Amino acid sequence: MKKITGKSLSVFIFLSAILFAALPAFAASGAALEGGFKTIPAIILLATILLFIVVGFLNKAEGTEGYYAAGRSISRVGSGAAIASNWMSAASFLGMAAIMYGSGYHGLSYVVGWTGGYCLLLLLMASQIRRFGKYTATDFIGDRYYSSGLRVFTALIAIFISFCYCVGQFGGIGLMFKWIMGMDYTWSVIIGGTVVLGYVIISGMLGVTKNQIVQYIILITAFLIPAFILTFKFDYFWLIPQIGYGRVVSDIVAGNATPFINSLGHAMQTVPQPEYAMPWDPATGKTFFQWMATCFALMIGTAGLPHVIQKFYVVPKPSDARWSVTWGLFFICLLYWTAPLYAAFGRILSSNPEVGTLAKDAIVVYTAQLGSVNPIIVGFLAAGAVSAAFSTVSGLLVAGSSAFSNDIYYRVFNPEASGESQILAARIATIAMALGVMVVALLKLALVAQLVALAFSIAGCTIFPLFLMGIWWSRSNREGAWASILVGAAFTAIALVYFICGKFGVALPGAKFVGYWLNPWYFAWIAAPLAIIANIVVSLATPDTPEEIRKHLASEVHGVR
Amino acid sequence: MEESKSYDVNFFKPSTPFLKENIRLIVIGLVVWWVVTYGFQFLLKIMETPTPEASYVTYQQYAPKLADGSASAEDMKAAANFYLAVLGKSAALLKNEPLKTAFTSTVYNSLSGGDQQMLLDVAAQAVDDKTVDVGFINSALGITDNKAMMAVVPYGLTAVTPDKLAMADPALKPVLDKYLIHNQSVLTDTIVLGFPFHYLFTALITLTIFVLICLVYCAAIDKLMKKHGMESSFE
């Protein structure tokens, strides 16, 4: 084990050395917001990544046993912070503000959807999943529905979900590397992706949970400090910036005239823009239905994402699972209460047409820059965005590759595989996945938050119904589960095919209808209920769940004695 | 009761007192969650009235005069100001040629003879060069103390010729409707803590209630487990 760690470390140092050697090549003179190599942010970023590795080494777990023992020594508050950092990615850090900046009130459906899902998770699933006593989402489904075919199919879907989720993250990492290094997007994604891959290969063996606590502290500090500075600087109520930015929103609605200027020397003023704050405003092109559907799909997706669900298996007790969700949600909200602030300040600071069109997904960083926040703090903000993406990507790549090595390689292709060849399979899967993600991220299919929303919709209509029904209705059986997951997968396929064809200009019949009602960001709004109905109908028409499983469910999960 | 029956789990038919109370807590939590999230949005939807911005209401009064050519210089100036404020809303509108033509045409008509020729030159120049001097337009429109509006002027001009002016192109109506009519109600127009109330509710209060739901549920379920003596044997 130690040998492998040493090897990975040297790989990482080698990669970093190449990166640094190549830096001068990317240095270019730039405008105020874009372009040019930014030394301070680059150093902060590198220091942050090194910090994660050092903390990981200090808390290195010895084998599986040690991993869980380490889990037990961590408090509920601590595992709450770990849940929050595992959860918050580039989509939370950069993507939500981007959607609000572009589509106003519609963006709040992401803010609400990505927090409200935790209520569902806690009320309906968290402690029950812990009591069921399995270690991964695929294990739960394979055992509860007594079907190894279903386990493999779920593993495939879990891998696909991780893949889509990662595409959004790589987009965010690419944008931040682009901003720091001042090179073009393609190279930024390739270099950022390589760094993250090196990091994942090393961090796969390090103390994950403690590391996630450190990651949470870094990302929340990086996100909050500029919020205080912006509200203070522009004379809004700065003691609680989350409330202080309310007047910024009202100023955008009414149009305003402040005595302040932004960092480009333009007045911080705007013509009246009620379309920014009014619900489902026609100017944003988003409707009431889209708000509700997006919000709902994101919520059930939260409760169906394998890497989120898996967090509950590693806490010592069911009551810890519940309290850590509560703490986790609170820590998540600290960022979510603040994110709309960046969108509002961004809107008003960039309202002058001379600022030009800004990349929406980088608006958080641009806003801090336009507000003349100290470059060191802006650099820290960008590093926070990268570490948000890193912590999530490493979790996703590990989840995806272990699903491949345990559920597919070991069970289907090579049941005699030794532990070592399983680890090798996981390594190869990690690298293959990262490379695939990099290629897709280069296509720039959509905004970061939207790409991530796709992963949520898939999880919401495939995995969530299986967990919900599996926990709360013992009659739901293998056949019903197959029907349910196939309905979910069919909707996923339809939404994706139409989306991809639309992107490449292939006209399919009914494209407009599908694009609106079965949009890839929220098709789960209808797919999930239909999957549940399919589950009920087919389950009732086929034999009951074996008694052994019903007994386990009743006595272990629900305390029936 | 036959043995296999007792192992059935059904959310709607809880079989033990503990499950019954547990599910009651869950249902209460879900109802609060639903009302806060979706109930409020439905309320917004039910109460909303499509409300045009004040400047759009005024515009509709003099718009017919722009079309039939009976508009006074004052009307022209008001219309130019109105179009300018619309142009300033978004980068997409700054690419809308009918809107830019309407703006440039109304500016042209609110200027006196000598300045009109200057406008035609400046407008043609502004297509490629946004640093062109538009001071005389700012003065004519009376916006010299409004930096937000002044910033938009060079971007809003487009090349026009005196024989092809269009001050109220019918093609503009859908664009203006889209950008100037908002879904408003007392919920959106009341200001609380500086926010429009609905924005405060969705962005802050909703999330706070989510945290409270979790907190209360955790405390309640811990108590419930203790009551049923499940803490030691079960957890």
What one-character-per-residue DSSP string does A394-437 give? HHHHHHHHHIIIIIIIIIII-TT--HHHHHHHHHHHHHHHHHHH
B152 vs A contacts (CB less than 8 Å): 271, 353
Q: Which of A255, A295, A473 minimises the CB distance to B37?
A: A295
- Over 90: is that where the pLDDT of A344 sits? yes
Q: Which residue in chain A is spatially nearest to B149 when comparing CA positions?
A: A271
The pair of structure tokens assigned to B114 is 């000598």
The pair of structure tokens assigned to B17 is 């007192």
String of DSSP letters for B119-136: HHHHHHHHTT-TTS--HH
Tokens 């706070």 belong to: B208
* CB within 8 Å: A475 and B10: yes
What percent of chain B is predicted at pLDDT more than 90? 52
pLDDT at A73: 59
Domain ranges of chain A: 2-557
CA atoms within 13 A on the CB side of A411: 18
Distance from CA of B175 to the nearest CA of A (A): 9
Q: Which residue has the higher pLDDT, A481 or A196?
A: A481
Give the DSSP letter of residue A544. P
- Over 60: is that where the pLDDT of A285 sits? yes
B124 in helix, strand or coil?
A: helix
* CB within 8 Å: A274 and B182: yes
Task: Verify that B57 and B88 share a domain, yes or no.
Answer: yes
pLDDT at B225: 87
Least reliable range by pLDDT among A203-217, A274-288, A423-437, B43-57: A203-217
* CB within 8 Å: B218 and A250: no
Please, are residues A367 and A348 in contact by the beta-carbon 8 Å criterion?
no
Best residue in A88, A99, A123 for a mutation probing chain B (most B CBs within 10 Å): A123
Give dist(CA A269, CA A262) in Å, integer: 10
pLDDT at B193: 94
Question: pLDDT band at residue A29, thresholds of 50, 70 and 90?
Answer: very low
Distance from CA of A289 to the nearest CA of B (A): 10
As a whole number, mean pLDDT of residues A344-369 equals: 89
* CB within 8 Å: B148 and A269: yes
- Residues 6 or more apart whose Cβ sits within 8 Å of residue B107: B76, B80, B119, B137, B140, B141, B157
Task: Verify that B179 and B120 share a domain, yes or no.
Answer: yes
Distance from CA of B205 to the nearest CA of A (A): 9
The pair of structure tokens assigned to A465 is 């119904």
Number of domains composing chain B: 2
pLDDT one-digit tens code per residue, B144-174:
888 889 999 999 999 888 888 888 888 889 9
Question: pLDDT band at residue A182, thresholds of 50, 70 and 90?
Answer: confident
Please, are residues A271 and B149 in contact by the beta-carbon 8 Å criterion?
yes
Q: Which of B84, B204, B218 minimises the CB distance to A322?
A: B218
Tokens 């070592």 belong to: A420
- Domain A2-557 grouped into CATH 3.30.9.10: no
- Over 60: is that where the pLDDT of B1 sits? no
Task: Verify that B60 and B156 share a domain, yes or no.
Answer: yes
Neighbours of B15 (CB within 10 A): 17
What percent of chain A is predicted at pLDDT more than 90? 46
Q: Which of B48, B203, B210 minimises the CB distance to A116?
A: B210
* CB within 8 Å: A250 and B194: yes
Question: pLDDT band at residue A368, thresholds of 50, 70 and 90?
Answer: very high
The pair of structure tokens assigned to A490 is 């069919």
Task: Verify that B141 and B41 share a domain, yes or no.
Answer: no
pLDDT one-digit tens code per residue, A252-261:
999 887 778 8
Last residue of a domain, one of B184, B209, B224: B184
The pair of structure tokens assigned to B128 is 């490629």
Question: pLDDT band at residue B3, thresholds of 50, 70 and 90?
Answer: very low
Residues β-bridged to residue A296: none
- Over 60: is that where the pLDDT of A7 sits? no
Residue type, A235: D
The pair of structure tokens assigned to A355 is 């600022």
Task: Verify that B104 and B142 share a domain, yes or no.
Answer: yes
pLDDT at A18: 52
pLDDT at A96: 93
pLDDT at A17: 58
The boundaries of the domain holding residue B192 are 3-48+187-234
Task: Verify that B205 and B141 share a domain, yes or no.
Answer: no
- Over 50: is that where the pLDDT of B233 sits? no
pLDDT one-digit tens code per residue, A387-422:
888 888 888 888 888 888 888 888 878 888 777 788
As a whole number, mean pLDDT of residues A432-459 equals: 90
SS percent in chain A: helix, strand, coil, step 5: 75, 0, 20
A255 vs B contacts (CB less than 8 Å): 85, 148
* CB within 8 Å: A472 and B208: no
Give dist(CA A497, CA A515) in Å, integer: 11
Task: Verify that B146 and B207 share a domain, yes or no.
Answer: no
How high is the mean pLDDT of chain B? Answer: 89
- Over 70: is that where the pLDDT of A427 sits? yes
- Residues 6 or more apart whose Cβ sits within 8 Å of residue A456: A113, A297, A298, A301, A302, A305, A524
Distance from CA of B223 to the nearest CA of A (A): 11
pLDDT at B41: 96
* CB within 8 Å: B178 and A283: yes
pLDDT at A153: 94
Distance from CA of B177 to the nearest CA of A (A): 9
The pair of structure tokens assigned to A386 is 């990268």
How high is the mean pLDDT of chain A? Answer: 85
Task: Verify that B65 and B120 share a domain, yes or no.
Answer: yes
Give dist(CA A22, CA A30) in Å, integer: 18
Task: Verify that B67 and B128 share a domain, yes or no.
Answer: yes
Residues β-bridged to residue A256: A270
* CB within 8 Å: B234 and A273: no
- Over 70: is that where the pLDDT of A24 sits? no
Please, are residues A171 and A90 in contact by the beta-carbon 8 Å criterion?
yes
As a whole number, mean pLDDT of residues A430-445 equals: 90
Number of A–B residue contacts, CB under 8 Å: 223
- When mean pLDDT is compared over A37-41, A364-368, A546-550, B206-210, the highest value belongs to B206-210
- What sign for the dihedral angle of Cα A71, A73, A79, A85? negative
Please, are residues A491 and A527 in contact by the beta-carbon 8 Å criterion?
yes
Question: pLDDT band at residue A3, thresholds of 50, 70 and 90?
Answer: very low
Least reliable range by pLDDT among A18-32, A295-309, A419-433: A18-32
As a whole number, mean pLDDT of residues A80-96 equals: 89
B6 vs A contacts (CB less than 8 Å): 554, 560
Q: Which residue in chain B is spatially nearest to A96 when comparing CA positions?
A: B203
pLDDT at A97: 94
Best residue in A76, A92, A112 for a mutation probing chain B (most B CBs within 10 Å): A112
* CB within 8 Å: B194 and A108: no
- For chain B, the straight-line distance linking the first and the last C-alpha, in angstroms and rounded, comes to 27
pLDDT at A244: 93
B205 in helix, strand or coil?
A: helix
A265 in helix, strand or coil?
A: coil
- Residues 6 or more apart whose Cβ sits within 8 Å of residue B225: A319, B18, B231, B234, B235
- Alpha-carbon Rg for chain A, nearest whole angstrom, is 23
pLDDT one-digit tens code per residue, B34-50:
999 999 999 999 999 99
The pair of structure tokens assigned to A251 is 């100023």
Give dist(CA A294, CA A297) in Å, integer: 5
Give dist(CA A504, CA A512) in Å, integer: 15
- When mean pLDDT is compared over A231-235, A443-447, B110-114, the highest value belongs to A231-235
pLDDT one-digit tens code per residue, A101-154:
999 999 999 999 999 999 999 999 988 888 887 778 888 999 999 998 999 999
* CB within 8 Å: B7 and A333: no
Task: Verify that B38 and B64 share a domain, yes or no.
Answer: no
Residues β-bridged to residue B52: B181
Please, are residues A288 and B41 in contact by the beta-carbon 8 Å criterion?
yes
Give the predicted TM-score (pTM) of the model: 0.90
Give dist(CA B187, CA A310) in Å, integer: 40
Task: Verify that B82 and B174 share a domain, yes or no.
Answer: yes
* CB within 8 Å: B29 and A352: no
Q: Which residue in chain A is spatially nearest to B131 when comparing CA positions?
A: A354
Quick one: which of A67, A333, A337 has its CA closest to A216?
A333
- Residues 6 or more apart whose Cβ sits within 8 Å of residue A418: none
* CB within 8 Å: B6 and A554: yes
As a whole number, mean pLDDT of residues B102-113 equals: 89
As a whole number, mean pLDDT of residues B76-103 equals: 91
The pair of structure tokens assigned to A331 is 């820590």
What are the CB-based long-range contacts (under 8 Å, 24+) for A43-50? Answer: A43/A379, A44/A376, A44/A379, A44/A380, A44/A382, A44/A383, A45/A180, A45/A379, A45/A382, A45/A383, A45/A386, A46/A16, A47/A383, A48/A218, A48/A383, A48/A386, A48/A387, A49/A195, A49/A199, A49/A386, A49/A387, A49/A390
Give dist(CA B44, CA A155) in Å, integer: 41
* CB within 8 Å: A275 and B182: yes
pLDDT at A10: 56
